[in-house]
Amino acid sequence: MGKHVIIGTGGVGTATATALAASGHEVVVASRSGRQVNVEGVTSQQVDATDPQAIARLAQGADALYNCVNPEYHRWAQDWPPMASALLLAAEITGAGLVTMSNLYGYGPVDHPMTTADPLAASYTNGAIRAEMWREALAAHEAGRVRATEARASDFFGPGVVDQSACLGRLLPRLLNGKKVSVLGNPDQLHTWTYVPDAGATLAALGTSEDAWGTAWHVPSGPPLTQRELLQEAARVAGVAPARVGSIPQVAFAAVALLQPKLRPLKDTSYQFTRPFIMESDATTRAFDIKATDLDTALEATIEAARAA
């Protein structure tokens, strides 16, 4: 069993810690606040994610270092470069493998189910930032300075996901109360959804396998569903009234975004909800024998957590 250090204590960081601890590894999670995670046997620490030396001290002797940080969308241009550089340098200093949680933004709009063979061609700010993070990590890997890998996921759902841009994270409380819900974009476009514990299991597999390094991997995710279908399934599993799903008018969203800077970057990613947004993940399943959690099981856990909160 090895030592694993996770930077970030949100849903993905906690899920990764859970998966690693369940396999008997020594796990340390760290964040700016030093928040404790509710995972037996996991140690919590405080760290500045822009300080490579502080991260390196935590990761001394570690097998892998996990980047599970998630700055607010409207702060990516300011916050991601120093954090990504610090984590990459800390991995180089310590020899720990660097495992990064990423997303599909780097591909930009595509007309087919995405695979890791697709070019990282995004031109908008947040997509270009994620693409450049992987290019820098891969260049360091190919130069022999670090071992690096990356997991990419679609929109998250699951226990602890409260992101206001996420479909279930934003709408589940209203759905459980029998109220009408409104989604971004077209409610009837197919979309891949990633269950957070599946992301944690994938990161844990990447950080403990010599076959993962130097490659990006898609998190195993279930068959694509429209936003309407996902919400209808959630209502069914929850045993509440059938979902009544509408869409937020584009003009109304634009007006709200002017007043709320956190929402402005969503204009760049609106294509993800106005056209099919589908991810293939079979390669990860074949390589690491990880399968997406059954939808009913995933929704039951998500709803239980929402009701408990």
| 123-176 confidence digits (pLDDT tens) | 999 999 999 999 999 999 999 999 999 999 999 999 877 665 568 888 999 999
pLDDT confidence of residue 170: 85
| 62-119 confidence digits (pLDDT tens) | 999 999 998 988 899 999 999 999 999 999 999 999 999 999 999 999 999 999 999 9
CATH homologous superfamily for 3-157+193-221+280-288? NAD(P)-binding Rossmann-like Domain (3.40.50.720)
Angle at the Cα of 112 from the Cα atoms of 111 and 116, rounded to 5 degrees: 120
| Distance of alpha carbon 246 from alpha carbon 250, whole angstroms | 12
| Cα-based distances in Å from 4 to 7, 62, 120, 228 | 10, 5, 29, 39
**235-254 as b/e, with b when 16 or more CB fall inside 10 Å?**
bebbeeeebbbebeeeeebe
Domain boundaries, the chain: 3-157+193-221+280-288
pLDDT confidence of residue 160: 77
Question: pTM to 2 decimals?
Answer: 0.95
Q: 34 pLDDT exceeds 80? A: yes
**Token pair for 98:** 């660097």
| 211-257 confidence digits (pLDDT tens) | 999 999 999 999 999 999 999 999 999 999 999 999 987 665 555 55
List, in order, residues 6 or more apart from 126 with CB less than 8 Å away.
73, 76, 77, 105, 265, 268, 269
Q: 282 pLDDT exceeds 60? A: yes
pLDDT confidence of residue 251: 62
| Distance of alpha carbon 25 from alpha carbon 1, whole angstroms | 5
145: helix, strand or coil? coil
pLDDT confidence of residue 167: 80
256: helix, strand or coil? helix
Q: Is 53 exposed, middle or buried (0-12, 13-18, 19+ CB in 10 A)?
A: exposed
pLDDT confidence of residue 253: 58
